[in-house]
Amino acid sequence: MENSNGQVVQASGVSRRFGEGAAAVDALVDVSTAFDRGRFTAIMGPSGSGKSTLMHILAGLDKPTAGTVVLDGQEITSLDDTELTKLRRDKLGFVFQFFNLLPVLTAEENLVLPLSIAGRKPDQAWLDQLVDTVGLGDRRTHRPSELSGGQQQRVAVARALVSKPTVVFADEPTGNLDSKASSDVLRLLRHAVDDFGQTVIMVTHDPAAAAHADRLITLRDGRIVHDGAPGSADEVIELMKTID
């Protein structure tokens, strides 16, 4: 499975409307796309273009008003809470912009949290490898408040990887970081895709972040307006100018 390049996520005709009547907002309009296994996709677009909404629907956190999402062969828009919980445990990893870590647990405990929640034992070799990649070193037993923002976010990425999910979703994972810390986090994601065959879908505002991806999807007013390789950061900036 690791290297087969099948499509792990397929969205067909996905629309999402918030509210009703005159005040209704169409956050997504008939979006269809698919994501290949082992690829790193960035989603960009102006504020309010529907990036987060798309990601939430792909991850089963929100339901579309129309259309379907198939994740790893399973239709997910009609799942109930128990099934979605199981889906999140087994197949999904998340990295958020803030509040990724539990302040009461140590870095390492936070890292293995998805496994603890699922009642599974971490594979020690895999764990060591992750800790090593993250560069946590002697800070394994520190609490999040004793880590820098970049370190915290790298732990969050490692946590998303620890259960070897089908897809990792990241919503502006570098939105809060300076450029050095950002590039550490992005290199970590890139590394996961290249070396562990991880599928990653990332929403970002940062052209430099998008440049780390294999594929760039651009949204405007809830529709996909561009889909292709990102090229360099400067090329991404040029592209974004044409969209705005």
Ligand X SMILES: Nc1ncnc2c1ncn2[C@@H]1O[C@H](COP(=O)(O)OP(=O)(O)OP(=O)(O)O)[C@@H](O)[C@H]1O
Give the nearest distance from C-beta 22 to another protein in angstroms: 24
> CA-CA distance, 44 to 173, in Å (whole number)?
13
The strand pairing partners of 7, in sequence order, are: 36
The strand pairing partners of 93, in sequence order, are: 168
Chosen from Mg ion, another protein, ligand X, none, partner binding at 49 (C-beta under 5 to 8 Å by type): ligand X
| Site size for another protein (CB under 8 A) | 26
Chosen from another protein, ligand X, Mg ion, none, partner binding at 167 (C-beta under 5 to 8 Å by type): none
Site mask for Mg ion (CB under 5 A), range 33-52, x = bound: -------------------x
Nearest to 158 by CA among 183, 179, 128, 182: 128
Angle between helices 149-162 and 124-134 (to 10 degrees): 150
Q: Which is nearer to ligand X, 143 or 220 (CB)?
A: 220
Chosen from ligand X, another protein, Mg ion, none, partner binding at 142 (C-beta under 5 to 8 Å by type): none
Tell me if 116 contacts another protein by CB under 8 A. Answer: yes
> CA-CA distance, 40 to 7, in Å (whole number)?
13
The CA angle 179-155-47, to the nearest 5 degrees, is 50
> CA-CA distance, 160 to 213, in Å (whole number)?
17
Give the nearest distance from C-beta 80 to ligand X in angstroms: 21
Binder of another protein out of 38, 45, 64, 93 (CB under 8 A):
93
Binder of another protein out of 7, 10, 12, 85 (CB under 8 A):
85
Give the nearest distance from C-beta 99 to ligand X in angstroms: 16
Nearest to 185 by CA among 219, 154, 208: 154
Q: Could you tell me the sign of the dihedral formed by the alpha carbons of 156, 161, 163, 167, in that order?
A: positive
**Contact residues for Mg ion (CB under 5 A)?**
52
Catalog residues that contact another protein under the rule CB under 8 A.
Answer: 56, 61-62, 81-82, 85, 88-89, 93-94, 96, 98-100, 102-105, 113-114, 116-119, 159, 163
